[in-house]
Structure 1
Amino acid sequence: MTTTSDRVPVVRMSGISVEFPGVKALQEVDLTLHAGEVHALMGENGAGKSTLIKALTGVNRLSAGTIHVGGQEQVFATPAQAQAAGISTVYQEVNLCENLSVAENIMLGHEARRGPFVDWRTTRARSREHLRALNLDIDPASSLSSHSLAVQQLVAIARAMVVDARLLILDEPTSSLDADEVQQLFTVMRTLRDRGVAILFVSHFLEQVYEVSDRMTVLRNGRLVGEYRTAELPRLELVSRMIGTSLEVLEQLQETPKRAEALEHGEPYLRATSLGRKGSVQPFDLDVHPGEIVGLAGLLGSGRTELARLLTGADRPDSGTVEVQGRPVRLRNPRAALGQDIAFSSESRKTEGIVGDLTVRENIVLAMQAERGWARRIPRKVADEVVARYVEALGIRPADPEALVRNLSGGNQQKVLLARWLATEPRLLVLDEPTRGIDVGAKAEIQRLVANLATEGMSVVFISAELEEVVRLSHRIAVIRDRRKVAEVVNDDVSADDVVQLIAGSEVPA
């Protein structure tokens, strides 16, 4: 990393304000980005990070403020204008065409031509050059769909660099990657940084921010909190500045004694025996007792989600049995599971969760209405009471039942999804990555909610890629590896390192 003193910034945003009808999304925010630096943009969901990025890239119109690129003032009316000025963005949801080849994705819109025809040989050769510049050994002629999500993220970065970007914006690029894939991405980021590219990095993973960023800007409630050198801002102080309060919620959760030994292990609410599905999960046994949180730990692709889907009727098993309160049941689909008071919150809130074009109210009552049957509409008064209760209980913001869910931040969308399933009053709640991609404040609120639900007697199956989170919350932890349940431990004094050893195939030291 080079020093930033006495250099013209790649981008300087000064006094940026953005207003929507009735909402001041940003108020006089500054952001300075230098060549050869990774700059993290930090803040809770709804703090204004996405709005600031959209203001920079020509999506949002400025109410006040100026943008300078390379020392010259710019006014971007469209993302294309921002890209032409050397600003490229790679979003959390990879915006590529999986049915096309790697080369076609990288060079889309910039293909080599001979007259009116595409020169595919030259196009593939140029795409290979862009891949090599990032130290990526990928066949340009291969189909993008044949590669992992991590590789697709790297292809998206290669595509962004085709226009010789001076600033690369990475918006939550690691949310769906495992540890090795994250390191592969970080290697590419450091390569670009060392070539003089400015990188704006948005992530809710604090460990990753501290590992890869040189400087950070913190936003809260649409306002600038400050700019800091990463090495000079302790993590606890960062989180305190992001959420405006101390870390009491997380600290209380971390210090809460495990209740595993205090649970009355009588009859489990749900018992799975030799439950499995060919090509998905090998047969496994699992009990979940009332008032117990069972964590599922494993690497990305280990079979955690597949196991959860079998427990909740989202997929049908081809072996084994399920008992609910000692009675055999057949969970043919999620509606049958709801009939047994079992609710499943999917990890993919956008494709299998929220309905963006519906309101907060409509999203929350959706499962209640499905369980009741579409011919028997929920009375408006009942719906209003349910929605008001969970909007307040979960702190959904804005607290407007008529707001479209697509306009909410990721953390508030996740809260709406949780409210939907809690409204069905389940006795077993299966949560698949309920805190992925949300800020630390919303994450703490959801963790506290899960702990409280268990205290009140609800059974919970909890899945998270963050092992510290699994260890913090769970009474028992089932470890999944290579689509097999390989271990189960009572969480009386288990550490994240112990779980890592089990995932890797080692014994936990006594």
Structure 2
Amino acid sequence: APGRPKQGDTPSGGSDPRSGGARGPTSVWPDSPRAAQRLGISTVYQEVNLCPNLSVAENIFAGRYPRLGLAQGWRIDWATMNRRARELVARIGLDIDVTRLLSDHPVAVQQLVAIARALSIESRVLILDEPTSSLDDDEVQKLFEVLRRLRGEGLAIVFVTHFLNQVYAISDRITVLRNGSWVGEWPVGELPAQALIAAMLGRELAAQSTEAPVPPVFDESAPALLQAEGIGQSGQLQAVDLRVRAGEVVGLAGLLGAGRTELARLLFGLETPDRGVLRIDGQAVAFANPMDAIRHGLALCPEERKTDGIVAELSVRENIALALQARMGMGKFLSRAEQATLAERYVKLLGIKTESVDKPIGLLSGGNQQKAILARWLATEPRLLILDEPTRGIDVAAKQEIMEQILRLAQAGMAVLFISSEMSEVVRVAHRIVVLRDRRLVGELPAGSSEDAVYDLIAAEHA
């Protein structure tokens, strides 16, 4: 298709930056952050790595405080430091008191202070790693104004992001990486959004889908079990309307960074929404923590299995019993025999491959660990199961078994919110597909929709 990228393509007249050809600048290989800074390369990381207990000026010059002379005992030259800090923040459009603590300022200002720190070393190249991940729309626009001004001053900027609309709003050229490898580079005007998604995912989007998935059977007259009305959180997720009915599988689709996990965390009480209403069976609820969500019949299999899901040192038995034990409270305990009976039941039901339920779960394969996490929540007999990337990093056979289990749970009356980067999985099991882009809801598709229909909706704004 015209304008569609092919792996390894480079812009016309350009060259593969990995080639080390004769044209272009000399290669450099800084072996430390300090060496990179000496070359004029500065990085601002996704998580603002500044010190909230220090002033703005102290953060900007941390490790490089200007000093008075020997006669003054090499003390910090506070007047010079504060003056230079004021000049730097003014350069990026900030009008703040640089002597105040960094913690006195909102996240958006802290992000700009991190940029001011990067500029303080006379940067020639500024690398920004997901700088807008915690900013709302207005704050993003203010940041972009700063970046455009710096670009006009001759600063080279590498802007790392998953937000498609921001790519097109601020970039001159787009470079795509996938699985740790360089895919290609294109002038922004020559790369349509659909072609960009194809490059990111490593697959071509067919002009028309020839295979219509068969939607699972579902009673559309069933009442809403969970309903979110304009639920959101500043800097994390725009207001979202969502409903999930008993026996329904709702697919939550979108690219990485679209806001899927953020929504799951809000629904499960891991984060607190600052707008909207959440209802269970029509009654408004407010979850102070995940225990409140569990008491209302919700369960969450998290995206990060290793860090947020399993307790690697504990046995399969103990991991499966965790959520049920927590729901029972401090005064009641599952005996070892009860835990073993529970675990053995779900090992058999889900086909978890382990020599013993007393084997440390960290020694199981990824697929069997994922099944054990699913077993943990099934043991609580939830009414709504939130699955965040349940098939990531597991083999094909385990994926198939988990997908079949999801359908069986829905047919038995359980509500399921299914989050996956694999669109083929979403369209296969979902009765409805809710699509997010750039942390906002952009549309909804019915059962039977094709993968390309989902991608079209994701890319629609930039088509």
Q: TM-score, normalised by structure 2?
A: 0.58
Partners of 2:288 and 2:13 lie apart in 1 by: 66
| 1:212 and 2:170 matched | yes
Q: Which has the larger strand fraction? A: 1
Q: Tell me which residue corresponds to 1:455.
A: 431
| 1:237 and 2:191 matched | no
Instruction: Assess, with a 3 A threshold, how the Cα gap between structure 1 residues 93 and 354 changes in structure 2: closer, same or farther.
Output: same
| 1:86 and 2:15 matched | no
1:263 to 195, 199, 220: 220
Partners of 1:249 and 1:389 lie apart in 2 by: 40
Deviations, residues 390-441 of structure 1 (Å, cap 9, x unaligned): 9xxxxxxxxx976999xxxxxxxxxx9999568624432468999xxxxxxx
Partners of 1:217 and 1:356 lie apart in 2 by: 33
| 1:354 and 2:326 matched | no
Tell me by how many angstroms 1:342 deviates: 0.3
Q: Tell me which residue corresponds to 1:334.
A: 290
Contact 2:435 2:444 in 1 (8 A): no
Contact 2:127 2:158 in 1 (8 A): yes
Deviations, residues 90-136 of structure 1 (Å, cap 9, x unaligned): 11111111222221211212222224211222211111111111122
Partners of 1:113 and 1:287 lie apart in 2 by: 61
Q: Tell me which residue corresponds to 2:439.
A: 466
**What pairs with 1:17-96 in structure 2 (closer than 5 Å)?**
71-96=25-50
Partners of 1:151 and 1:417 lie apart in 2 by: 40
Tell me by how many angstroms 1:176 deviates: 2.0
Partners of 1:98 and 1:224 lie apart in 2 by: 36
Aligned length in residues: 364
| 1:427 and 2:427 matched | no
Q: Tell me which residue corresponds to 1:141.
A: 99
Q: Tell me which residue corresponds to 1:49.
A: none
| 1:14 and 2:18 matched | yes
Q: Which amino acid aligns with 1:103?
A: A
Instruction: Assess, with a 3 A threshold, how the Cα gap between structure 1 residues 104 and 158 changes in structure 2: closer, same or farther.
Output: same
Tell me by how many angstroms 1:287 deviates: 7.1
Partners of 1:367 and 1:427 lie apart in 2 by: 18
Q: Tell me which residue corresponds to 1:369.
A: 322
Unpaired runs of 5+ residues, structure 1, are 16-29, 33-65, 276-284, 296-303, 391-399, 406-415, 435-441, 476-494, 497-510
Contact 2:269 2:289 in 1 (8 A): yes
Partners of 1:321 and 1:231 lie apart in 2 by: 41
Partners of 1:243 and 1:306 lie apart in 2 by: 23
C-alpha RMSD of matched pairs (Å): 5.9
Q: Tell me which residue corresponds to 2:393.
A: none
Tell me by how many angstroms 1:387 deviates: 9.6
1:228 to 175, 181, 186: 186
Tell me by how many angstroms 1:375 deviates: 6.3
Q: Which amino acid aligns with 1:369?
A: L
Tell me by how many angstroms 1:224 deviates: 2.8
**What pairs with 1:406-445 in structure 2 (closer than 5 Å)?**
420=373, 424-425=377-378, 426-429=382-385, 445=421
Provide the identity percentage: 36
> What SS does the aligned partner of 1:226 have?
strand
Q: Tell me which residue corresponds to 1:27.
A: none
Partners of 2:68 and 2:151 lie apart in 1 by: 34
Q: Which amino acid aligns with 2:221?
A: E
Unpaired runs of 5+ residues, structure 2, are 1-10, 232-240, 253-260, 327-332, 354-360, 391-417, 448-456, 459-463
Tell me by how many angstroms 1:466 deviates: 3.0
Partners of 2:372 and 2:206 lie apart in 1 by: 24
Tell me by how many angstroms 1:384 deviates: 7.9
Q: Which amino acid aligns with 1:190?
A: R
| 1:167 and 2:125 matched | yes
> What SS does the aligned partner of 1:201 have?
strand
Tell me by how many angstroms 1:234 deviates: 1.8
Tell me by how many angstroms 1:143 deviates: 2.3
Tell me by how many angstroms 1:218 deviates: 2.3
Partners of 2:114 and 2:197 lie apart in 1 by: 30
Q: Tell me which residue corresponds to 1:123.
A: 81
Tell me by how many angstroms 1:369 deviates: 2.8
Partners of 1:163 and 1:86 lie apart in 2 by: 7
Tell me by how many angstroms 1:246 deviates: 2.5
Instruction: Assess, with a 3 A threshold, how the Cα gap between structure 1 residues 132 and 331 changes in structure 2: closer, same or farther.
Output: closer
2:68 to 97, 107, 114: 114
Q: Which moved more, 1:87-96 or 1:138-147?
A: 138-147
Deviations, residues 214-252 of structure 1 (Å, cap 9, x unaligned): 112223333332222121122222221222212469989
Partners of 2:371 and 2:166 lie apart in 1 by: 27
Q: Which moved more, 1:86-95 or 1:138-147?
A: 138-147
Q: Which amino acid aligns with 2:99?
A: A
Q: Which amino acid aligns with 2:61?
A: M
Deviations, residues 2-25 of structure 1 (Å, cap 9, x unaligned): xx9999x9xx9635xxxxxxxxxx
Tell me by how many angstroms 1:171 deviates: 1.0
Partners of 2:314 and 2:209 lie apart in 1 by: 33
> What SS does the aligned partner of 1:108 have?
coil
Q: TM-score, normalised by structure 1?
A: 0.54
Q: Tell me which residue corresponds to 1:103.
A: 57
Tell me by how many angstroms 1:383 deviates: 8.5
Query: Which structure has the bigger radius of gyration?
Result: 2
> What SS does the aligned partner of 1:175 have?
coil
Q: Which moved more, 1:122-131 or 1:331-340?
A: 331-340
Contact 1:312 1:333 in 2 (8 A): yes
Q: Which amino acid aligns with 2:245?
A: H
> What SS does the aligned partner of 2:444 have?
helix
